[in-house]
Amino acid sequence: MNDAVNTRPIGVIGLGSMGGGMALSLLRAGLTVHGCDLNPDNLKAFTDAGGIAAASPAALAAACDVVFIVVVNAAQTEAVLFGESGAVETMTSDSVVVSCATLGAEFAEKLGARLAEHQVLMLDAPISGGKAKAHSGELTVMSSGPERAYEKAGAALDAISETVFRLGDRAGKGSAMKTVNQLLAGVHIAAAMEAMALGIKSGLDPEVVYEVVCNSAGRSWMFENRVPRVLSGDYTPTSMVNIFVKDLGIVLDAGKGLPMPLPVAAAAHQQFIAASGMGEGANDDSSVIKVYQATSGIDLPQKKD
C-alpha cells in the first residue's frame, strides 16, 4: 500500500500507550511526524524520539495531510476535531482523518458525513494489538473508507500495521467490526478471571492453573496475556477496566439498535462495572478478578518487592 501521493508530515493526536507507539513506528519508517497531547510527559517522549510537538490539534492539522486520531472515546474524538482549536479548522480539502478510537458504528458513519461536508476524507480505522504491537508497528487495523483516503494514508498505515482489513468504502463498517472484536475481548478477559478465581477457590496453585489451561482447549489469547498480571500481582494498567466498561457498553448499544440480545456480553459488562465500582477503574483490566476476591474471599498472588 505504498503511498506516492502524500509527502507532507503525518499527524498523531493522542500520544498515550497506543498513539505514542504508533508515532514511534511512523518515525522509524522515516516519516516526518507531528504530535499533540495534553500530557507533557507523552509529548516529551515523542519529541525525544524525533517528533515535532504541536500546540493544538488545529496547529497540527495545518501541517499535515493525514491525521491519526488516537484518543479514548467519541467525546474526545469530537473535541479534537470540532472543539476549540480543533483539527477541522485548518484541514485542507482532500486531507484525511484516520479515526482509531473505538466508536459506535452509527457515530462513526455520521462523523464521516460531517467531515465530508468540510471536504475532508475519513478512514474509520479502529486498531487492535495493544501497546506492544503499537510500538512494533504490527497493529491490526479494521478499516473502511474511500479509496482516495487509502491512497493518501497508505505509507502511514504500512508503518503502523501488520494487517489492514478493508471492510467497505465508507465509515461505519470498521467500527462495527471493532465492536464484534471488543465483545470477544471483554468476554474473554472476564471469563479468564472467573476461571482463575474458580481454580484458586478450589485450592489449585494459580501458576499450575495457568500452565495447564495454556496447554488445553480452554486457552485464549486473552487468558495467556492477562493472567500473568494476576500471577505477578501487578495491576499497572496497559488496558484499563474502564476501557471495557465503555467498549462493552458500545457492544450492548449496538445490540439494542439492531435489535438482538447479547446476554454473555451483558454479564461480562457487569463484572467490569463492578470492578470499576470497587475503585479499580483506572487499573489494568485483569483487576476484574478482584470482584471474585471481594465476593468469594480468594487470596490473590501479591506483588513481589
Query: At residue 266, what is the residue type?
Result: A
**Rounded Cα–Cα distance for residues 46 and 58 (Å):** 18
Residue written as cell 463484572?
A: 271
**Rounded Cα–Cα distance for residues 240 and 249 (Å):** 15
Choose, from 173, 178, 256, 304, the residue flagged as catalytic: 178
What does the H/E/C string look like for the chain?
A: CCCCCCCCCEEEECCCHHHHHHHHHHHHCCCCEEEECCCHHHHHHHHHCCCEECCCHHHHHHHCCEEEECCCCHHHHHHHHHCCCCHHHCCCCCCEEEECCCCCHHHHHHHHHHHHHCCCEEEECCEECHHHHHHHCCEEEEEECCHHHHHHHHHHHHHHEEEEEECCCCCCHHHHHHHHHHHHHHHHHHHHHHHHHHHHHCCCCHHHHHHHHCCCCCCCHHHHHHHHHHHHCCCCCCCEHHHHHHHHHHHHHHHHHCCCCCHHHHHHHHHHHHHHHHHHCCCEHHHHHHHHHHHHCCCCCCCCC
**Rounded Cα–Cα distance for residues 229 and 68 (Å):** 30
Specify whether 178 is catalytic: yes
Hey, which residues are catalytic here? Answer: 178
